[in-house]
């Protein structure tokens, strides 16, 4: 089942929301491929995208947070570092074992769960902070 971009996933920072939307698109491609029995063909593309995405996106968020002296920067950075290790572990497992059904199921669940939880808690927290110091998110 595809992930529908919803207003409650927006944090109100356009560039970051757009980056999040591109991740949703990649996850949806994999979920749709899974439903059509083509997950094995698509998972490698999704892993490649995700490996690049986490570095680019996390660096952008971290620079944004440092620029605005976000007081929970170190805490947020640890969340990013943890997930980056998760992605690297999934990539290693994929390289060793290939696109097994258990791997695909675990991958889908881990990515979707992390995405929704991270945005709804950590990302919204720093967006709220930015809003409080700027009066409006820029």
Architecture per CATH, domain 11-134, reads as: Up-down Bundle (1.20)
CA separation for the pair 23, 20 (Å, rounded) = 5
Sketch the domain layout of the chain as residue ranges.
11-134
pLDDT reported for residue 33: 85
pTM, two decimals, is 0.84
Q: What is the pLDDT of residues 81-138, one digit of tens each?
A: 999 999 999 999 999 988 888 998 888 888 888 888 888 899 999 999 988 887 644 4
User: If DSSP codes are grouped into helix, strand and coil, which group holds residue 121?
Assistant: helix
Q: What is the pLDDT of residues 7-17, one digit of tens each?
A: 888 999 999 99
How does DSSP assign 35-103, residue by residue?
A: HTT-HHHHHHHHHHHHHHHHHHHHHHHHHHHHHTT-TTHHHHHHHHHHHHHHHHHHHHHHHHH-S-HHH
């Amino acid at each position: 089942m595809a992930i529908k971009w919803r207003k409650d996933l927006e944090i109100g920072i356009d560039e970051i929301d757009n980056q999040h939307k591109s991740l949703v698109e990649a996850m949806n491609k994999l979920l749709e491929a899974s439903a059509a029995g083509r997950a094995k063909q698509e998972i490698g593309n999704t892993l490649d995208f995700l490996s690049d995405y986490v570095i680019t996106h996390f660096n952008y968020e971290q620079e944004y947070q440092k620029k605005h002296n976000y007081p929970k920067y170190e805490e947020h950075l640890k969340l990013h570092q943890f997930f980056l290790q998760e992605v690297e572990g999934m990539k290693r497992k994929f390289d060793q074992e290939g696109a097994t059904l258990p791997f695909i199921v675990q991958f889908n669940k881990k990515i979707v769960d992390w995405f929704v939880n991270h945005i709804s808690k950590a990302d919204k927290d720093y967006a709220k902070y930015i809003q409080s110091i700027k009066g409006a998110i820029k």
